[in-house]
Amino acid sequence: MLTHLDDLHQPTMVDVGTKGVTRREATARAVVVFPPEAWAQLHAETGKDWIGPKGPITATAVVAGIQAVKRTSDLIPLCHPLPIEGVSITVSAVSEATLEVLCTVRTTHKTGVEMEALTGASVAALTLYDMTKALSHAIEIRSVTLVTKTGGKSDSGSLHGPA
């Protein structure tokens, strides 16, 4: 059953008034893949610090992702505004020409932070693309997935492999 539709199949915001307050955490992953020539050029032009003409590439992506987490309810119409207690975003090379963004969001509230984690990972990946698109428009954001979700009655733990 889709929880964001009422009995008349109209969009509705879920009533969380009777749900219990629990500690909730979610981690999402985004994968950004560079063409080999763009990856080589990125390293040649930015060095180990990943500083490009637009500024610090990974640091900018992290800040953009954190901003996106805080604005999720403004972007996704039926999301509840939540008091975000913590956000952790990392960007790391997981293989040749592939970056992984991990975004973990925490709150103590009546509803989970999956959408916030997914939004943070997505916007961080989009920012990586924006910061490096001058090298190639063939850079791909291949996936954005929920990795873990804990807290609440549907505590799922790991969903898509290790974070």
User: What was the pLDDT predicted at 15?
Assistant: 66
Closest C-alpha to 146, from 115, 110, 107: 115
User: What was the pLDDT predicted at 76?
Assistant: 92
User: What was the pLDDT predicted at 137?
Assistant: 96
130 is catalytic: yes
Fold of 22-150: Alpha-Beta Plaits (3.30.70)
The answer to whether residue 43 scores a pLDDT higher than 80 is yes
Helix (H) or strand (E) holding 31: strand 22-33
Map out the domains of the chain as residue ranges.
22-150
Mean pLDDT of 111-137: 96
The answer to whether residue 93 scores a pLDDT higher than 60 is yes
User: What was the pLDDT predicted at 9?
Assistant: 67
What's the pTM?
A: 0.88
- Please tell me which residue in 15, 49, 130, 155 is annotated as part of the active site: 130
CA distances in angstroms from 65 to 3, 62, 90, 120, 148, listed in the order given: 27, 5, 10, 4, 18
Write out pLDDT tens, residues 49-82. 888 888 899 999 999 999 999 999 999 998 999 9
User: What was the pLDDT predicted at 47?
Assistant: 76
